[in-house]
Structure 1
Amino acid sequence: MALCLAACVSREPSGRREYSGNPILPGWYADPEVAVFGKRVWIYPTFSAPYDQQVFFDAFSSTDLVHWTKHPRILDTNAVRWARRALWAPAAVHNQGRYYLFFAANDIQNNQQIGGIGVAVADRPAGPFRDHLGRPLIDKFHNGAQPIDQHVFRDRDGQWYMYYGGWRHCNVVKLKPDFTGLEPFPDGSRFKEITPQGYVEGPFMMERDGKYYFMWSEGGWTGPDYSVAYAIADSPLGPFRRIGKILQQDPAVATGAGHHSVLKLPGREQYYIVYHRRPLGERDPNHRVVCMDRLEFDDQGFIKPVRMTFTGVRRVRL
């Protein structure tokens, strides 16, 4: 892998790296969530290892998408008494002057087990984060959705939504402004199922030109057919009808490409997809790496299929 990076990254005459190369982060990581805080881009991934070793989160930050600084152990199970393993898919947001990290823990299989989706809080994006509630925010199965893979989205009216769910079911919930609980929808319900065709896990929401782009992962995360598909709706609540895949394996580059997030550069119509994939020849399910490539739209607003690269993305100035 190191040889590939050295071969694929071009350099400017001054010696500064011009392209990031893929993977962009060193080590085995997956499920990357990307965010912009201040003048830095942050990536919060899952540490990709056997579940009993997944007891912490690292974060990475950059000012140019090429050089990344590691911020180790921004949250671990010592700070969350109810979490013991399988810390997955962190999602970070800034709200009311503080930073919040949503995460899944313990890989619960039924409503009798302890775990689910939690919330941690910190004064800085690099933490240290501490448990916000002292308990999971969601600790039960609703509409068949395992409480994992949460993504938090703020709509234009200021309302915070959280999309989540494994086991081929996806729910959306409304978060209270202080993230201490859920608010009911107008009909009194708190969990709305919005599962589109093909959905498996890893939801992500973004808004562009008044349209809501709902994305998810499908296929099996341990296999080569893991991929990303999407839908477009006029509301953050759907209905969401599957349009098609935008990211999938390339036998010349990598397999198992999925569980992504999207970066929009502040003030520019410039988008990037941040995702994990499995290098060619790797058979260990946990040997996943975080990569970044351009995400582009056609004239009608549809997402063009993503071309995975070893080159990565060009250096930018935030």
Structure 2
Amino acid sequence: MKYLFSSLLLLAGLASLAQDSKTIKQSGNPIFKGWYADPDVAIFNNKYWVYPTYSAKYKEQVFLDAFSSDDLVTWKKHEHIVDTSAIKWANKAMWAPAIVKKDKKYYLFFGANDIQSDNEIGGIGVAVADKPEGPYKDHLGKPLVDKFHNGAQPIDQFVFKDKDGQYYLIYGGWRHCNIAKLNKDFTGFLPFEDGTIFKEITPDNYVEGPYMFIRNGKYYFMWSEGGWTGPDYSVAYAVSDSPFGPFKRVGKILKQDASIATGAGHHSVIINEKKGAYYIVYHRRPLTETDGNHRVTCIDEMKFDTEGNILPVKITNEGVKAQKVK
């Protein structure tokens, strides 16, 4: 009987350890296999979603994949949610998707063709679907933004919903960033009070990859600095009382760690309001890689100090602990 009781205790202990190991399960970095960059994130139907760029040569970037997860640890791949067969005007360089749900529809904003002047076909497009995994079809049959306004290359789009429900497109490469007010059906823009469509909100050292969120009534504007193929690609931020700024640069919060990875940048943020948790999802380059396109998607926790400043993020190989949406 004594031996049986000891055995039962041992089994109970092993079961407890197994349960603990499940509880503290880590995502690891990268969070899924493959060369992927420029991730945008969302929470739909109690699942986490990541929409990245397929990181390859421009002519091979003719589709977008998506990934979904219940817990930030196990990810399901949704292949070719949109490609150039659905977007007739796009032929290469499908970049930096930005996702938003509105009126039971899912809108996927993306850049295509890497245009270098107003005389080329391409820019920022919009695709629409009934489900987050698509399939997506062309919403306009043409680009939403196909010109250089205020010097901003029409790439790296982000859709921001303000407190009043208004949606804005924030975008721009070539060291310029614009904000524009989207109309209700995302087919165009509404002018600001002064009659302009595109307002420049470029902060110091801005290069590309804008992202914005609200916390405690403040507007946090984040962006990428440095060259995307280099080791010093990084993320910085500013804070303002308005989505239009002025945005004074605070400093970098995400950068390479020479012992882990280089080129950490072009990010987005998962905000789990119920858990009060913030996660930065970004790409970086493994230490073993020299090819500029060899980038992987990673996740780490993002924290704030008591004054609301974003603390520098420590990039890790472990990633984050499992976390359900609810």
Q: TM-score, normalised by structure 2?
A: 0.93
1:293 aligns with 2:296: no
Which of 178, 183, 188 is 2:185 aligned to? Answer: 178
Work out whether residues 12 and 18 of structure 1, in 8 Å CA contact, stay in contact via their aligned partners in 2: no
Superposed displacement of residue 110, structure 1:
0.2
1:276 aligns with 2:283: yes
1:245 aligns with 2:252: yes
Indicate the SS of the match to 1:79: coil
Moved over 2 A (4+): 10-17
Superposed displacement of residue 316, structure 1:
1.1
Aligned length: 309
Partner of 2:134: 127
Residue correspondence of structure 1 range 92-171 to structure 2 within 5 A: 92-171=99-178
Superposed displacement of residue 266, structure 1:
3.7
Superposed displacement of residue 281, structure 1:
2.3
Partner of 2:44: 37
Aligned partners of 2:108 and 2:41: how far apart in 1?
12
Residue correspondence of structure 1 range 208-287 to structure 2 within 5 A: 208-287=215-294
The percent of aligned pairs where both chains have the same amino acid is 64
Which of 177, 199, 223 is 1:192 aligned to? Answer: 199
Aligned partners of 2:86 and 2:18: how far apart in 1?
42
Aligned partners of 2:191 and 2:250: how far apart in 1?
29
Q: TM-score, normalised by structure 1?
A: 0.95
Indicate the SS of the match to 1:314: coil
Aligned partners of 1:243 and 1:11: how far apart in 2?
44
Residue type matched to 1:93 in 2? V
For each residue in 1:16-48, what CA deviation from the matched residue of structure 2 results, as whole angstroms up to 9, or x when unmatched? 870000000110000000100111010000000
Aligned partners of 2:18 and 2:269: how far apart in 1?
26
Residue type matched to 2:220 in 1? Y
1:60 aligns with 2:67: yes
Indicate the SS of the match to 1:152: strand
Aligned partners of 2:54 and 2:146: how far apart in 1?
22
Aligned partners of 2:105 and 2:174: how far apart in 1?
32
Aligned partners of 2:121 and 2:96: how far apart in 1?
18
Indicate the SS of the match to 2:242: coil
Which of 88, 97, 101 is 1:90 aligned to? Answer: 97
Superposed displacement of residue 104, structure 1:
0.1
Aligned partners of 2:95 and 2:20: how far apart in 1?
41
Partner of 1:21: 28
Residue type matched to 1:179 in 2? F
Work out whether residues 11 and 18 of structure 1, in 8 Å CA contact, stay in contact via their aligned partners in 2: no
Aligned partners of 2:19 and 2:28: how far apart in 1?
14
> Bigger CA drift: 17-26 or 197-206?
17-26
Unmatched tracts of structure 2, length 5 or more:
1-16
Superposed displacement of residue 268, structure 1:
2.7
For each residue in 1:75-119, what CA deviation from the matched residue of structure 2 results, as whole angstroms up to 9, or x when unmatched? 000000100000000000000110000000000000000000000
Aligned partners of 2:103 and 2:20: how far apart in 1?
44
Superposed displacement of residue 58, structure 1:
0.2
CA gap 1:69/1:17 in 2 versus in 1, 3 angstroms = farther
CA gap 1:80/1:172 in 2 versus in 1, 3 angstroms = same
Unmatched tracts of structure 1, length 5 or more:
1-9
CA gap 1:112/1:299 in 2 versus in 1, 3 angstroms = same
